[in-house]
Structure 1
């Protein structure tokens, strides 16, 4: 999940300050069971506010005499290689954060501790389903959810008002109707776009596929089989094209939402809507401070009136390396971090907590409130160790979208070719 490997492998896109310093390596001192001990914790940059981690570490040390938490903040760039090296060593950190699309690979490699017997102690009855799936491998739990995020439709409240749109869309048809009204009001400006939608925003495409009852892959035993050529997936791709065509967006059909950065385009003041992550409002406001006060959000609408479309959720998990010198202390640390007390603080910081069903703190902001509403129906990427190669390489979903949107391939050819490429990646 490339965008959510930035964010929360997914998370780094959240602009929150973090405590600590860049990681200097693993290591837990004095594992003999007596004397002082050091618990090394690696969390990612942007994952948790320093107010949370400062209080958490202080409380944990107070409750565990002689224990010092060595808290180290890691950067997302190069983290997969760094974790690979650390987890293969005999002296890894004791607690680590993993992007949810990286988790299956490390689980399958046997370098993470089996937490199946500890789920109940780790607030397991409240785990976010999409992240729980990514922490499971071969019937066992190797990671716990930490937090997640999903996309919403960011929109200009002032433009909606001027166009006479009195209520946010609650169905696909209402969404299309809003686009028509916006074009009628502002269409004389050649730079205006009612919806900015790049051709390769496959995270958004997944919402439409899910909404049709489809997916990009299904589990077959321990393996995954691609399903992007199913009737449901095809219907989702057709609606994506309908949105692109209806909006007349000038976004490139052969690139994603980061090239160029869509928040920057939105910030120029000529775009009424974009499908985005909540913190992209802040990115847009860097060049246009006034835009934040005129921006709100609504969940991606379903084809069924009054419902929201299921969303792709990126996020982070927490795990304990199998070679940790202090596995019981590490489990106690996870128990505290996953408690309602600290999960509620994640929600207050604008994230969907991974181990709490209480999302009320997200209601304080209309954008995060929309994310919370949509998050109740979330899915993750296929929980296969091979998914990382899909995103890191020539993503077949992106190729499929560009080919269909540009007319280079018809619907059947584009989806069949993507299906073949995904199956090759899953089995390669």
Structure 2
């Protein structure tokens, strides 16, 4: 599942050659029936990204689909992340696009906002198991009140920690509040602080996905809907409280992580794998990367949900992942809907859970529950959220991210809390405010 480290890094902005005015929102088929067509024929072309679904799943899915619809042939094509933006843009602007596409859930609004690009699937949600969609995933596929993306899969961050170090430091249970988390950091420093290389928590300065949890937990957000646009809210007291707690974690842990880089520079899993770090905020499969350096870490490592300021609760988490969509000019939209219907069924969604991700259209988390780290992620996902569904969000993640700049400026002392948030708010408004 390594594609997540790339996916979560952000999505490039999308500009379609056939675009009309933003906000018109694709083709309106909200009133269409979700009932299966009496007869399907032709070819249904499916584009899924490399690493998104196990081959065993897609092989079985395609075989079952063709058996159920003898007149239809599945043309299944795996796409690479590198260059996918331009390839999708070209395909969607042409006359023969694929019929089913996978797009990052932070990208969906960019496509949905363009006239005649994606099919409105609002009237088909029930056939796609819509009653079981997580709210955070459903929000990522919604634009201007209509559904254009069907949740495919997602993942969220958790606190990955050394069980053996916690035990040696006298920490008998995983922290279940911010206060307990800070207390655990203090105990770890007392026990292992004589080692100059030790870090109770590896906390890079620009892990803004973790910052989202703290902002949301304090009742804030990074932006709020303002009609069809968004208005930045990083300068609110609630957002400031989230940023302030981030700084408290950095200062209390005395982390040696750079304040001007994110968790990928250097790869925090590699740092954790060196054996001098007790905790990191990351994705479950980062443990496998760490274990390449020290295989014993697999047995020594556990996880707990990112704590909340409210004891006994966990903080909201960012749900990053992918949605499934149907191009508005698909030549076989009826078959495409039937394909997504089968893929979104519990039978295949449970296989995604077994592969280590949160399934998009099912609450069956049996596969994840069997994994110590995956089970924590699965439970926390119920409190998941999405970034603002702005068509311009790609500009935030692919460019000079003002949230990252804000973190670095505040953590290094170059700006006060008020100045850092005010400047970031202004910069974010320029990107998504209109």
User: TM-score, structure 1 length as denominator?
Assistant: 0.92
Give the SS at the match of 2:214: helix
For residue 9 of structure 1, report the CA deviation from its aligned partner: 7.5
Change (3 A) 1:35 1:376: closer
Q: Show the counterpart of 1:18.
A: none
Gaps of 5+ in 1: 12-32
Cα distance change on mapping 1:244 and 1:34 into 2, 3 Å:
closer
SS at match of 2:319: strand
**3-state SS of paired residue (2:112):** helix
Matched-pair contact (CA < 8 Å) for 1:104–1:137:
yes
Structure 1 residues 114-193: aligned runs within 5 Å: 114-193=120-199
> Runs of 4+ in structure 1 displaced over 4 angstroms?
8-11, 33-36
- Cα distance change of structure 1 residues 35 and 315 upon mapping to structure 2, 3 Å threshold: closer
Partner residue in 2 for 1:25: none
Q: Distance in 1 between matches of 2:214 and 2:146?
A: 31
Deviations 1:236-264 (A, max 9, x none): 00000000000010000011000111111
Q: Does the 8 Å contact 1:5/1:76 carry over to 2? A: no
Matches within 5 A, 1:89-128: 89-110=94-115, 111-128=117-134
Matched, 1:419 2:428: no
Residue by residue over 1:88-145, the C-alpha shift from the partner in whole angstroms, topping out at 9 and shown as x without a partner, is 1110111000000110000011311111111111111111211211211222111111
* Aligned counterparts of 1:200 and 1:154: Cα–Cα separation in 2: 18
1:285 to 291, 297, 321: 291
The corresponding residue for 1:320 is 326
Q: What do the CA deviations read for 1:301-336 (whole angstroms, capped 9, x no partner)?
A: 001100000111101000001111100000000000
Alignment match, 1:16 = none
Displacement, 1:37?
A: 2.0
Structure 2 residue aligned with 1:63: 68
Is residue 2:335 matched to residue 1:329?
A: yes
Q: CA deviation at 1:287?
A: 2.0
Matches of 1:362 and 1:7, distance apart in 2: 20
Task: Render the CA deviation track for 1:151-180: whole Å, top value 9, x for unaligned.
Answer: 000001111111111100000111111111
The corresponding residue for 2:43 is 38
Whether the 8 Å CA contact 1:346–1:353 is kept in 2: the answer is: yes
Equivalent in 248, 254, 276 of residue 260 of structure 2: 254
> SS of the residue aligned with 1:289?
coil
Match of 2:302 among 291, 296, 317: 296
State the superposition RMSD in angstroms.
1.7
CA–CA separation in structure 2 for the residues paired with 1:294 and 1:174 = 21
**Structure 1: how far apart are the matches of 2:41 and 2:237?**
61
In the alignment, which residue of structure 1 is the partner of 2:390? 384
- Give the Cα separation in 2 of the matches to 1:170 and 1:35: 53
Asked if 1:86 is matched to 2:91, the reply is yes
| Gap change, CA 1:9 and 1:123, over 3 Å in 2 | farther
Question: Residue in 1 aligned with 2:34?
Answer: none
**Residue ranges of structure 2 left out of the alignment (5+ in a row):** 12-37
Please give the alpha-carbon distance, in whole angstroms, between the structure 2 residues aligned to 1:373 and 1:165: 23
Once the 2 structures are TM-superposed, how far is the Cα of residue 409 of structure 1 from its aligned partner?
0.2
Alignment deviations for residues 371-410 of structure 1 (CA, whole Å, 9 cap, x no partner):
0121111111100111000111100000000000000000
Distance 1:8 1:43 in 2: 17
**CA shift for structure 1 position 4:** 5.1
TM-score by length of 2: 0.91
Q: For the Cα contact (< 8 Å) 2:240–2:421, is it kept in 1?
A: yes
The worse-fitting range, judged by mean Cα deviation, of 34-43 and 314-323 is: 34-43
Report the CA distance between 1:36 and its aligned residue. 5.9
Aligned length, in residue pairs = 405
Which residue is equivalent to 1:6? 6
